[in-house]
Structure 1
Amino acid sequence: MTNDAPADLILDGDPLEAIGGGARVGYARVSTTEQSLRRQVDALTDAGCIRVFEEKLSGKNAERPELAACLDYLRDGDTLVVLELSRLGRSLADLLSLVSGLRQRGIGFTSLHENLDTTTPGGRLVFHVFAALAEFIRELIADGTREGLAAARAGGVRLGRPPAMTDEQIRHARALLAEPNTTVASIARLLGVSRSTIYKYVPELSPNHSVESRSDPQAALTS
């Protein structure tokens, strides 16, 4: 789960008392265990929603066109209502970002199952805690990553992308250079690398290398 808090998170500032006086608009999304939206729609309708946007895509990476339509439909003073938090956000960061965006537009947010309402002081406090928790987790991950990299460097661990050719492959390439009628293309095919990689790691095979080094295989072997 991604825990990075959105950089532009705004859950405080101007009082929210004016938010929530407009329409209540519902958003329902199917889950992997519940493919029917009827339960969600009924609950949202009972909660006073004048319209419910129904998202029938449950894939993790699927687009959410109904959510986009819902966010576009909402106006200043309205309240977005969901049955539970997981129906709106796929991660804590996603949820915080969406709720923060609503707040900036003067739109409230309510989750029925968790009894959260950002138009109330208690609901705002909960989301402040969520935001602080997300930032805390992000800092823990960042600190752990930095400490791990420092320890690896201190232990002599090579960081970054592994080399395209191992030391053993380089030795094989130099040994093959001593064989008559051996081409760079054949060496590359044998070792499973490209010709440009061969030239990079075995410069004596490069066309720009001196003729003397190419004509003396033993020199190449000992280089």
Structure 2
Amino acid sequence: KVRKRLKEGDTLVVWDLDRAFRSTLEALLEVKKLRERGIEFQIVTLCLDTSTPSGVLCYTVMAAFAEFERTNLIERTKQGMEAARKRGKRIGRPFKLTKKQIHHAHKEISVGNSTIATMAKDLDCSRDTLSKSFKRLELNV
């Protein structure tokens, strides 16, 4: 979105190359397009001038290293998540409700003191979240 709003004379500033583009090819093509539109490109962590041949060479090499690092980071993240799963660690967002809250809600609903809608409101969650919590703990309502 930002790139579309840039006009001639502007400068696109990014913190680091591996955060700006997904691949070497994308990095090279995007900077070429920017230069053709009269837009400068700066990377905060690198002092590169992409308007000179030597700057373009350095940029090309750095783009390749950035893609390499990004690919390695993705692979290490996947390996770490898989290792955590094997250790029994749950990956993902924490559950909204504690087991104690779920069991309390189940008891209140089961004895007729409350409804799913009322308990969900009391617990500040949706009816769907409460129902899924019952299913997760294998509690029938």
- TM bucket, shorter chain: 0.5 to 0.7
Unaligned runs of 5+ residues in structure 1 are 1-60, 72-81, 206-223
Check the 8 A contact 2:102/2:133 in 1, yes or no: yes
2:103 matched to 1:171?
A: yes
Check the 8 A contact 1:110/1:118 in 2, yes or no: no
Query: Which AA in structure 2 matches 1:139?
Result: T
Give the match for residue 70 of structure 1: 8
Aligned counterparts, 1:71-110, within 5 A:
87-91=11-15, 92=17, 94=20, 96=27, 98-102=30-34
Check the 8 A contact 1:174/1:202 in 2, yes or no: yes
Unaligned runs of 5+ residues in structure 2 are 22-26
Give the match for residue 118 of structure 2: 186
Task: Work out the CA distance in 1 between the residues paired with 2:52 and 2:129.
Answer: 61
TM-score (norm 1): 0.43
Query: Which AA in structure 1 matches 2:92?
Result: G
* Higher helix fraction (1 or 2): 2
Which of 72, 76, 80 is the equivalent residue of 1:140?
72
Give RMSD over aligned pairs: 3.8
Check the 8 A contact 2:8/2:37 in 1, yes or no: no
1:189–1:123: structure 2 CA closer, same or farther, 3 Å change rule?
closer
Q: Please report how far the alpha carbon of residue 110 of structure 1 lies from its aligned counterpart in structure 2 after TM superposition.
A: 9.2
Check the 8 A contact 2:34/2:41 in 1, yes or no: no
**Fraction of identical pairs, as percent:** 32
| Residues 73-101 of structure 1 deviation map (CA, whole Å, 9 limit, x = unaligned) | xxxxxxxxx9xxxx533232549454232
TM-score (norm 2): 0.61
Q: Please report how far the alpha carbon of residue 153 of structure 1 lies from its aligned counterpart in structure 2 after TM superposition.
A: 0.9
2:62 matched to 1:126?
A: no
